């Protein structure tokens, strides 16, 4: 059995540690976890923050539906179980990025609180920064970037988050951005400001 084999997996302790990689890069590594409804602005914001960090010399990577759901998670759909497995795998991948010394920006609806908490608990306390990309359903639906809300309303897509599937709002996110109220640049500055204030970028 696959699980039985686990007891014979003995990790090799390499000499180079996460802290060494962070020192080489001149900044800490962490997960910036963007959660929110479809169309709330997760991808737009994650890429805008990445651009800003990149200009500052920070080593970054964006994980989102485009590079995860078409690849490693292409076997998963949108049932509660599949979403849980989607987030679990993304959490584990994000953790590897942190170990590599990178600031990883993970942008997924991640509608269930317990799945987000699972990822939070995979890494050290200050390595998980939850960013609630807050935007009313009506606004997301009006934006309808991919035309999926229309399809969901017509019943062509089932279990669509916000329509006939739940979204559990974060209770204590580190950062909240309100994309229907503030311009993109303001949300970007809020996130960069948080990273500066908390010392993630102190050696740059």
Ligand X SMILES: Nc1ncnc2c1ncn2[C@@H]1O[C@H](COP(=O)(O)OS(=O)(=O)O)[C@@H](OP(=O)(O)O)[C@H]1O
Q: Which residues bind ligand X (CB under 6 A)?
A: 38-39, 43, 65, 69, 78, 83, 86-87, 108-111, 146, 148, 157, 159-161, 165
d(CA 163, CA 132): 19
Residue 101, token pair as written in the block: 């010394």
d(CA 90, CA 44): 19
Q: Is 77 annotated as a binding residue?
A: no
Report 3-42 residues binding ligand ADP (CB under 6 A).
36, 38-42
- Residue 45 interacts with which of ligand X, ligand ADP, none, CB < 5 to 8 Å by class: ligand ADP
| Cα 78 versus chain centre, distance | 17
Element (DSSP H or E) covering residue 74: none
- Of 18 and 178, nearer to ligand X (C-beta) is 178
Shortest CB 83 distance to ligand X, Å: 4
- Kindly tell me which residue out of 35, 60, 94, 179 binds ligand ADP, with binding defined by CB under 6 A: 179
- Of 37 and 101, nearer to ligand ADP (C-beta) is 37
Element (DSSP H or E) covering residue 129: strand 128-134
d(CA 163, CA 184): 25
Report 94-113 residues binding ligand ADP (CB under 6 A).
107
Length of the chain: 204
- Of 13 and 74, nearer to ligand X (C-beta) is 74
- Of 27 and 134, nearer to ligand ADP (C-beta) is 134
Residue 110 is a catalytic residue: yes
Q: Is 43 annotated as a binding residue?
A: yes
d(CA 91, CA 201): 23
- What count of other Cβ atoms lies within 10 Å of the Cβ of residue 75? 9
**Catalytic amino acids?**
110
Binding residue ranges: 36-43
């Amino acid at each position: 059995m696959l699980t039985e084999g686990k007891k014979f997996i003995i990790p090799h302790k390499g000499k180079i540690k996460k802290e060494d990689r962070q020192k080489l890069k001149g900044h800490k590594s962490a997960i910036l976890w963007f959660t929110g409804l479809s169309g709330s602005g997760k991808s737009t914001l994650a890429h805008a923050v990445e651009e800003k960090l990149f200009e500052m010399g920070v080593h970054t990577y964006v994980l989102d539906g485009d590079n995860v759901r078409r690849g490693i998670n292409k076997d998963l759909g949108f049932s509660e179980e599949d979403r849980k497995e989607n987030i679990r795998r993304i959490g584990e991948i994000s953790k590897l990025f942190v170990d590599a010394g990178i600031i990883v920006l993970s942008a997924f609806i991640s509608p269930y609180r317990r799945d987000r908490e699972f990822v939070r608990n995979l890494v050290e306390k200050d390595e998980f920064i939850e960013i609630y990309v807050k935007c009313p359903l009506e606004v997301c639906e009006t934006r309808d970037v991919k035309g999926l809300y229309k399809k969901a309303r017509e019943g062509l897509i089932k279990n669509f988050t916000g329509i006939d599937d739940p979204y559990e709002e974060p209770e204590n996110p580190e950062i909240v951005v309100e994309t229907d109220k503030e311009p993109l640049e303001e949300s970007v500055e809020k996130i960069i400001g948080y990273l500066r204030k908390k010392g993630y970028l102190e050696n740059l």
